[in-house]
Structure 1
């Protein structure tokens, strides 16, 4: 680990110690995939209290960690969900993830204070730390040339799932590299380089082996490409290949 990663690990261990010693819940900022991997690969005996992670919905990439005293089972995470939509749909631009993120960070807010940003047709859902929500609501009035209005969403339904497209195709095996080639049509050598360079996470854990065998329901996140869910093998062809389905999130 580099210096920043070591400092993060020490910070997480200290949050665990505080939760244990004071009998209170302690929270991290939003952690990205690499930071979550540091959490999950830290030896469990270094944490004095148990922990949970959550980012507002089941498939969230950026998540907070809650360190829990022994007697506690329910946690209310300190973030809010803000819906951002154009003041006038007729004159609005087509905005992407980068546009929303850039506009919020231009308010002087650090990335670690923000969770996922989910694009939904002509609006977006922003997950932000609770103590900054009011500031965002007051100061975010425009994204690029589009005037926007904001509203707090109380919570998302348990069944919430971002927009996705289902992709089906045949693969030779259920190895990580072959399933990625179904979701992201790129050369085998390019996908191998992506995996070996530390850009692929399965269920929040860094995977650098092309031959990693996937299980039904695995969530695969590829930095700079996106996220998919492996839905498993649907059938086997006469030539011994596997008809497979994945959900690629938009």
Structure 2
């Protein structure tokens, strides 16, 4: 089944295979780190291939980044077993213009792996964020996170974060036809650029594919890929829906507003 995924995804697929074999041998469930939507989709495919169950959760319903449980078919998993906690981060003064990248950079600056951090959600006023992380990382955040950017912050563990108040990303969907499944073609349609103008931001490092900088305009997009363009926002490949009579490919795009 490895041939169905990108070469860069092969180590991840093999790791999921190891998880599946471990569950098959021991009947003890296995839990991943935080995964992107694409990675979580791959995990489900691997689990299904082995006739195992798989469940995702990111600390709250609707989270984008989630941890996946591999478990025996029919086994149930409770939310507390995911070992996810929410850290409330309050900017004490100023900081209204701080962005997601500022908070993420502050967390990574503490030496915490990206895979140990889930979503970072915000309240509407923009000065309070909730960082979801693996439980073992909480002591580091509570002890060492003292500022985001140049602004001091107060942090505390929050057992019941106000999920209903989180700022929600709104996605608009539409179907487009692409001459090819190249990243530059997708970028042009998703963000209203000409094909030629879509190449430059890719080569200059302004485009991320599944959270990682991608410098290849010819990189082929796949289902559940998340593409971000600095200054424009994010878009997701929701579905690849076949070909037109002229040979173009129907792709359903979700653009985050």
TM-score category, normalised to shorter length: 0.5 to 0.7
SS at match of 2:35: coil
How many Å apart are 1:130 and its aligned residue? Answer: 0.7
Is 1:29 matched up with 2:33? yes
For the residues of structure 2 that align with 1:134 and 1:160, how far apart are their CA atoms? 26
SS at match of 2:175: coil
Residue 248 of structure 1 is matched in structure 2 by 256
From 15, 22, 36, give the equivalent of 2:19: 15
Residue 82 of structure 1 is matched in structure 2 by 87
Ranges in structure 2 where 5+ consecutive residues have no aligned partner: 179-185, 202-206, 211-219, 239-253
Cα deviations by residue, 1:179-227 (Å, 9 ceiling, x for unpaired): 9889734336667999xx9948xxxxxx848xx9xxxxxx884234325
How many Å apart are 1:31 and its aligned residue? Answer: 1.5
SS at match of 2:256: strand
Q: From the superposition, tell whether residues 193 and 86 of structure 1 become closer, same or farther in structure 2 (CA, over 3 Å).
A: closer
For the residues of structure 2 that align with 1:182 and 1:57, how far apart are their CA atoms? 32
Q: From the superposition, tell whether residues 199 and 2 of structure 1 become closer, same or farther in structure 2 (CA, over 3 Å).
A: closer
How many Å apart are 1:66 and its aligned residue? Answer: 0.6
How many Å apart are 1:110 and its aligned residue? Answer: 1.0
SS at match of 1:61: coil
| Paired residues, number | 215
Describe how 1:86-165 pairs up with structure 2 within 5 A.
Answer: 86-88=91-93, 91-92=94-95, 94-120=97-123, 121-155=126-160, 162-164=167-169
Is 1:68 matched up with 2:71? yes
For the residues of structure 2 that align with 1:127 and 1:176, how far apart are their CA atoms? 37
How many Å apart are 1:159 and its aligned residue? Answer: 5.7
For the residues of structure 1 that align with 2:57 and 2:197, how far apart are their CA atoms? 32
Is 1:226 matched up with 2:223? no
For the residues of structure 1 that align with 2:59 and 2:235, how far apart are their CA atoms? 16
For the residues of structure 2 that align with 1:116 and 1:100, how far apart are their CA atoms? 11
Q: From the superposition, tell whether residues 152 and 94 of structure 1 become closer, same or farther in structure 2 (CA, over 3 Å).
A: same
For the residues of structure 2 that align with 1:160 and 1:191, how far apart are their CA atoms? 35
Asked if the contact 1:165/1:248 (under 8 Å) is kept, the reply is yes
For the residues of structure 2 that align with 1:208 and 1:174, how far apart are their CA atoms? 15
For the residues of structure 2 that align with 1:102 and 1:122, how far apart are their CA atoms? 16
How many Å apart are 1:136 and its aligned residue? Answer: 0.8
TM normalised by structure 2 equals: 0.64
For the residues of structure 1 that align with 2:145 and 2:64, how far apart are their CA atoms? 24
For the residues of structure 1 that align with 2:9 and 2:86, how far apart are their CA atoms? 28
Q: From the superposition, tell whether residues 28 and 83 of structure 1 become closer, same or farther in structure 2 (CA, over 3 Å).
A: same
Cα deviations by residue, 1:144-171 (Å, 9 ceiling, x for unpaired): 2111011223245776763345879xxx
Ranges in structure 1 where 5+ consecutive residues have no aligned partner: 201-206, 213-218, 231-245
